[in-house]
Homo-oligomer: A and B are copies of this chain.
C-alpha cells in the first residue's frame, strides 16, 4: 500500500467539501443575478412587492436583534461550560466559536434566500404575463438560490470547521462540530417557530376579518393584514423551511462524522470523511437536477419538478455507488467490525428510500386526487364537526407509513453498518437537498406571485396562469413538509445514536435501560415536550391572530374609504404586530427546549441515562405529532380547495363553510406547531450531545 499516496488522497478529499460548497455558492450567485435582472413589471406590482420586501426585512432585522442577544448569551454559557474540567475531554473551548459560526452561516443563507425570494415574486408574476414556463423559470431559479445557498454554506462551513480544528483540538473535534450544529439549530428555532407564529398570526387574522367577517376575497389589497400574510409566506416557508433543512443537513453529516471518529478512534479516516464526500456528490447531483428543471423547455411545471427530483436522485445513487465501491471494506476499528462496501451503500439507499416513501405517503394523505382528502370533503357536507373529526382521524392514520418506513430504514441500516449505518441513512436522505429545497422554495415564491397578480389586478388569464403555478407549489410544499419531518426524525435518530455512542465511548458504563425508572421518566418528559411545545405555539398564534383581528377592525373603522379602495390601509402596523408577537412568543419555547435536557441531565437520580430517555421520547412523540399535524392540516386545506373546484356544492355552500373551518384549524397545526417539532427534537439532541460529558461527570 502506498501510504504517501493514500494520505494525499485523504487530504484532497478533505478539501472536496470546500470546493463543492464554494461551487454551490457560485451557482447560487449566478441564479441570483439571473433573478435580479428580470423585469419587475409595472408600478402597482413594484409597489406591492416593495411592501412585502420591506415587511420581510423588517421581520428579519427585528429577529436578528433578538438573535444577537441569544447568540451572545449562549456562546458565553458554552464557553463557561468548557471551563468545567472533565476527565477525558469535556466541552471544547472552541465549541462556542463553532456555535457562532453555525448560527451565522445558517442566518446568512436564510437571508440570501429570502432576499431573492422577495425579488422573485414580482418578477415571476411579470414573467407569467408571457407564459407559464417563463414564470416557472424565475420562481424555480429563486428556489435554487435558496437550495444551493443552504447546502453550499452548510458543507463549506462544516468542512472548514473540520480542517481547522482537527489540528487545533483533535480531542474536542466532535464537540466543536456539535457546536456548529447547535448554532444551526438555534437559527432554525427562531426561523421556524418565530416564522411559524408570524405567518399564521397574519394568515388567520387576515382570513377571520377579511374572508369571514367582511366578505372580501383573499389577497385583496384593501385588507390591511394582506401584506403581513404575504410576508409570512416568505418568513415561514422560505426562511423557516431553509433553516430547518440547513440544520438537518449539517446535523446528519456531523452525526456520521462523530460516530466515524468514535469507531475509528482517529480523524481523517475513510468513515469520517465519507459523509463529507457524499454531501459533495449530493451537490453535484443537485446541479444536474436543477439543470434539468431549468434548461428543458416547454414542459409542464409539475413534470419539470418531478424530472429534476428523479434526475438528482438517480445521479446521486450512481455517484455514491461509484465512490463507496472504491473501498472494498470499511473499518470500524473500535468495535472490531469490518463492513463490506455494499453494506454502507445499502444503508445509504435505505435512507433515500424512506424519504421517497414518506414523500409519497404525504401526497396520498393530502392530495385531493386520493381518497383521504375526498373523504374529508364529503364529511364537510354534514358540517364542520364531521369535517374535523374525519381530518383528525386521517391525520392520525397517516402516521403509520412514515413511522414504519423510518423504522425499517434504521433497522436495515443498523444491521448492515451498526449505528454508523443509521447516520449514513440520514445523510442519504438529505444528500440531494440542493434540489429538493429548490423545489420547496419555489412554492412560496409562486404563492406570492399569484398574490401580487391578484393585488395588482393583472389580466384574468395572467392570474389564472399564476394560480396554476401556485397549485404546483402546493403539491411540492406538501411533499416538502413530509420530507422535512422525515429527515428531521432520521437526523434526530442519528444524533441520538451519536449520543448513545458518545456515552459508551466515555466508558461510563451507562445504559439507557428502560427498566431503570429514571430512563422511563425521561421518556415521559421527552414525550411531553412536543405536546407542550405545540400548545405554546398554538396559543401564541391564537393571541397574535386576535391582535391582528382587532387591528384590522380598527383600521376598517377609523380609516375612511378603506373598503372602497380609496384610502390606503396601514400595512406596516399589521406587519409590526406579527413581528412583535413572533419574537415575544418564542422566548419560552426556546428556553424550554434548551433547558429541559440540561435540567434532566444534572438532576441527581436522573442524569445522562434519563436524558437518553428524554431524547427518545421526544423523537417518538414529536415525529408522530408532527406528521399528524402536517397531514391533517394539508388534507383540510386541500379538501377545502376540492370543494371550491365545484364538488359537494362548491364555493359558498354549507359544505364549503364547514371546510373553511377545518382549513383554518389546520393552518397553525401544519405551519406553526408541526414544523416547530422538527426543530425541537433536533435541538434537544444536539444540546444533550454537547453537554453529555458534563452529565456523565455530575
Give every chain B residue within 8 A of A399 (Cβ-Cβ): 528, 531-532
Which of B389, B407, B605 lies in contact with A411, CB distance below 8 A?
Answer: B605
Q: Residue A518 at the B interface, CB < 8 A? A: yes
Q: Is the CB of B528 within 8 A of A624?
A: yes
Q: How does the 8 Å CB contact mask read for A358-391 relative to B, with 1 for contact and 0 for none?
A: 0000000000000000000001001111101110
Question: A535-563 toward B: CB 8 Å interface, digit per residue (1/0)?
Answer: 11011011001100100000000000000
Tell me whether A511 is interfacial, beta carbon within 8 Å: yes
Contacts of A168 in B (CB 8 A): none
User: Are A517 and B392 within 8 A (Cβ)?
Assistant: no
A546 to B605, CA, bound (A): 52
Residue A410 interfacial (CB < 8 Å): yes
Question: A218: shortest Cβ distance to chain B, in Å?
Answer: 15
Known contacts being A514-B519, A605-B411, A616-B514, is A382 close to B208, with CB within 8 Å? yes
Interface residues of A in 618-659 (CB under 8 A from B): 620-621, 623-624, 628
For chain A, residues 514 to 538, give those with C-beta under 8 angstroms from any C-beta of chain B. Answer: 514-515, 517-521, 523-528, 531-532, 534-536, 538
Across the A-B interface, the 10 shortest Cβ-Cβ residue pairs: A500-B515, A385-B664, A396-B535, A393-B538, A512-B514, A527-B620, A397-B535, A414-B517, A407-B521, A396-B531
CB within 8 Å of B: which A389-436 residues: 389-390, 392-397, 399-400, 403-404, 406-407, 410-411, 414-415, 419, 422
B493 near A620: Cβ-Cβ < 8 Å: no
Report chain B residues within 8 Å CB of A520.
410, 493, 496, 616
Nearest Cβ in chain B — how far from A8, in angstroms? Answer: 37
Q: Are A542 and B389 in contact (CB under 8 A)?
A: yes
Q: How far is the CA of A368 from the CA of B393 in the complex (A)?
A: 28
Residue of B nearest to A515 (CB): B500
Contact of A517 among B422, B512, B528, B620 (CB under 8 A): B422
Picked from B389, B410, B525, B549, the residue with its CB within 8 Å of the CB of A541 is B389
Q: Which residues of B contact A515 (CB under 8 A)?
A: 419, 497, 500-501, 503-504, 511-512, 612
Q: Is the CB of A538 within 8 A of B396?
A: yes
In the complex, what distance in Å separates the CA atom of A532 from the CA atom of B616? 20
Are A403 and B542 touching (Cβ within 8 A)? no
Q: Does A665 contact B (CB under 8 A)?
A: yes
Query: Is A617 in contact with chain B by the CB < 8 A criterion?
Result: yes
**Is A513 part of the binding interface, using a Cβ–Cβ cutoff of 8 Å?**
yes
Chain B contacts for A382, CB-based, 8 A: 208, 546, 549
A32 to B: closest C-beta gap in Å: 38
Q: Which of B208, B534, B541 is A383 in contact with, Cβ under 8 Å?
A: B208
- Assess whether A68 is interfacial by the CB under 8 Å rule: no
**Cross-chain contact B531 with A514 (CB below 8 angstroms):** no
Docked CA distance A674–B589 (Å): 27
A interface, by DSSP: helix, strand, loop or mixed?
helix
Return chain B residues, CB-CB under 8 Å to A532: 396-397, 399-400
CB distance from A210 to the nearest CB of B (A): 13
Q: Is A46 an interface residue (CB 8 A)?
A: no
CB <8 Å contact, A535 and B394: yes
Report 25 cross-chain contacts, Cβ distance below 8 Å, ordered by A residue.
A208-B386, A383-B661, A383-B664, A385-B661, A385-B665, A386-B542, A389-B668, A392-B665, A396-B531, A396-B538, A397-B531, A397-B535, A397-B536, A400-B528, A400-B532, A403-B528, A407-B524, A419-B517, A513-B513, A514-B612, A514-B613, A527-B620, A527-B624, A620-B620, A621-B624
Q: Chain B residues near A385 (CB, 8 Å)?
A: 204, 208, 660-661, 664-665
- In the assembled complex, the Cα of A497 lies from the Cα of B518 at a distance in Å of 12
Q: Which residues of B contact A546 (CB under 8 A)?
A: 382, 386
Instruction: Give the contacting residue for A661; candidates B384, B606, B613; CB below 8 A.
Output: B384
Q: How far is the CA of A503 from the CA of B407 in the complex (A)?
A: 24
Residue of B nearest to A384 (CB): B661
Contact residue among B404, B500, B504 (Cβ-Cβ distance under 8 Å from A514): B500
| CA A338 to CA B513, docked complex, whole Å | 24
A524 near B403 with CB under 8 A, answer yes
A318 at the interface (CB under 8 A from B): no
A265 at the binding interface (Cβ < 8 Å): no
Q: Answer whether residue A33 sits at the interface, using C-beta atoms and an 8 A cutoff.
A: no
CB distance from A251 to the nearest CB of B (A): 17
CA distance in complex: A392, B399 (Å): 19
A384:B384 contact, CB within 8 angstroms: yes
List chain B residues, Cβ under 8 A from A661: 383-385, 388, 661
On whether the beta carbons of A388 and B388 are closer than 8 Å, the reply is yes
Residues of B near A528 (CB, < 8 A) are 399-400, 403-404, 624
Partner of A521, one of B204, B411, B525, B617: B411
Q: Are A379 and B623 in contact (CB under 8 A)?
A: no
**Nearest-CB residue, chain B, relative to A421:** B517
For the complex, is A212 an interface residue (Cβ under 8 Å from B)? yes
From B208, B389, B514, A665 is in contact (CB under 8 Å) with: B389
Besides A384-B661, A415-B605, 7 other CB < 8 A contacts? Answer: A382-B549, A411-B606, A500-B515, A511-B513, A512-B514, A527-B620, A617-B620
Contacts of A525 in B (CB 8 A): 403-404, 407
Known contacts A397-B532, A511-B513, A616-B514, A524 near B623 by CB under 8 Å: yes
- Bound CA span A406–B517, Å: 11
- Give Cα A407–Cα B388 distance, bound, in whole angstroms: 33
